[in-house]
Chains A and B, each alone.
Chain A
């Protein structure tokens, strides 16, 4: 196959590069997507090493009332100040990165896993299966995803796990619709027909031939939806329905700082900045990935 490709490329006068090199080059040429990638990588690094960077028991949840509401820079031990219970804001922000990214990533993994199965079946089988599955998705779509997640969290009780499930349920419908349309474009390709002619079963065709060819779409969705997941998680925590105290989460920290907005504005400023920067980075990364993996979708 590679031989044939090379030949085709040389005849069109292009350099001999693989598809992967081509994608990488296109991605690196876009400044915004590289910035997105770097910032995302920093946040992922901080999230992964949060338990090493800060000590949960002595820094993240340890209350220190005499030193409460210190301003940033007032005490060298607390570079970003302390919150209403005297806990170090910096340590909490770092630990919250772990919570937010883990919730966002897990929620999206669940949603994509279910979305891929539903979308691929609907797109591949078509006809009645398609109609029924898409009608069910329409029902899920009937309530805005945030309100759906809120209902689930309020009814099942707030916890990190409920939060993941709630956010996932809220985005299954959109996910399956995107996978479905990707499958519809791939489905009629010759290699699918060839696989069918060779006697492959439907499952084999879906998992070995169709889904791998929709991977570009799925990767782009992963990046964009994580941004949405983190936003939903922080909104729910802001309303008191997400991550529960004493665990730190950006939305919850922001909500706690509301009462001190006049004298300690940084308590609401920093967590909000974290949410904004991480979401912006994931969105920029997602845009860059979309442009390089699937240039047809370029907006």
Chain B
């Protein structure tokens, strides 16, 4: 197990290098001048030039990247141009918000999709199955920013029962969690359904039925436990992607989270913050994928952890 974890962490290193180099290069193509953006358009040309020199913007991109990488390896991701605070501090200031939202979104997704997935599988090709599957697909097809706005329109502006944004008011997490959660139901529902369908065809289910176990108990005790193993994987993977922050949802609900932080940083060409956020996101996704693989091996002892990659 330890060997496996070390191997995965070593594999993470080239990915982080690649991601940051790529983002660094793309952002350096931007015609905007960060120094001018910080000082404002009315700034003296000398002051702008001095700041460019101070920020190291006059060096070639490769030198800038080298310097960034060196600092990164020393745990320093630089300082945000906009707020003047260290990037890591900014990131971890917003991280709890995104984590909380990710947790509740997963909660919504799971309580909707697992029951629908089970019912669809048990009553395959029935009306419920068809409606459930199309409904799950519809959940995937609704743009998050639109669903968010519609929920605000109904529950905040017209019914006045839930706050329209922010994170401080009680119940503020409900609407954004529903928005993100419904988008994730499609994959989880389908996975639950196909996994259940596969499991109920297994020999031990037939044995249980033959023994005279009632069909409800067969489903809940025998089939469900085994069928949920691949579903747990999908859930963990979705959770990893949630940690990147749901940008449009966070913006619609003015939710203080990583997604909004990243989008604002990219939009305002706040390079240290943008690159720092994207690097941290890549790490978060890789780590959650690794945790998922390990969890998978714990839940299902038939799986052996070998090799690296995906």
Contacts and interface: CB of A to CB of B under 8 A. Distances in A.
Contact of A147 (B137, B191, B262): B262
Contacts of A144: 241, 244, 281, 285
A142 B142 contact: no
B141 A268 contact: no
- Which of A135, A142, A251, A262 is the most central at the interface, judged by chain B CB atoms within 10 Å of its CB? A142
Nearest to B274: A151
B141 A239 contact: no
Interface string A129-148: 00000111011101110110
B19 interface: yes
A65 interface: no
A106 interface: no
A154 B282 contact: no
Interface stretch (B40-48, B57-65, B149-157, B291-299): B149-157
A238 to B, nearest CB: 5
B92 interface: no
A142 B19 contact: yes
Contacts of B191: 299
A142 B15 contact: yes
A268 B267 contact: no
Nearest to A272: B146
Given A154-B269, A265-B153, A276-B143, A142 B262 contact: no
Contacts of B137: 280, 283-284, 287
Interface residues of B, number: 52
A234 B152 CA distance: 19
A284 B133 CA distance: 10
A70 interface: no
A126 to B, nearest CB: 14
A241 B193 CA distance: 38
Contacts of B262: 147
A134 B144 CA distance: 31
A150 B248 CA distance: 11
Contacts of A156: 26, 29-30
B49 to A, nearest CB: 23
B18 A276 contact: no
Contacts of B263: 150, 239
Nearest to B145: A238
A139 B278 contact: no
Nearest to A238: B145
The main secondary structure of chain A at its interface with chain B is helix
Contacts of A150: 247, 263, 266
Contacts of B244: 144, 147
Given A135-B14, A254-B145, A283-B141, A142 B282 contact: yes
A139 B18 contact: yes
B118 to A, nearest CB: 15
Interface in A17-33: 32
A157 interface: yes
Contacts of A284: 134, 137
A280 B138 contact: yes
Contact of B267 (A32, A140, A241): A241
Contact of A142 (B144, B150, B266, B286): B286
A275 B30 contact: no
- Which of A238, A241, A251, A284 is the most central at the interface, judged by chain B CB atoms within 10 Å of its CB? A238
Given A147-B281, A261-B157, A284-B137, A272 B16 contact: no
Contacts of A283: 137, 140-141
A93 B4 CA distance: 53
A32 B247 CA distance: 31
Contacts of A279: 140-141, 143
Given A147-B281, A151-B278, A265-B153, A235 B248 contact: yes
A189 interface: no
A235 B145 contact: yes
B22 interface: yes
Interface string A157-200: 10000000000000000000000000000000000000000000
Interface of A: 32, 134-136, 138-140, 142-144, 146-147, 150-152, 154-157, 227, 231, 234-235, 238-239, 241, 251, 254, 258, 261-262, 265, 268-269, 271-272, 275-276, 279-280, 283-284, 287, 299
> Which 4 residue pairs spanning A and B have beta carbons closest together?
A139-B18, A272-B146, A280-B141, A142-B19
23 contacts: A32-B134, A138-B18, A139-B18, A142-B282, A142-B285, A143-B22, A143-B281, A144-B281, A150-B266, A152-B26, A231-B141, A235-B144, A238-B145, A239-B248, A251-B145, A261-B157, A262-B157, A268-B150, A275-B146, A276-B141, A276-B146, A280-B137, A299-B190
Given A139-B15, A147-B281, A284-B137, 18 more contacts: A140-B22, A142-B285, A150-B247, A151-B23, A155-B26, A155-B269, A156-B29, A234-B143, A251-B145, A254-B145, A254-B146, A258-B149, A261-B149, A262-B157, A268-B150, A272-B147, A279-B141, A280-B141
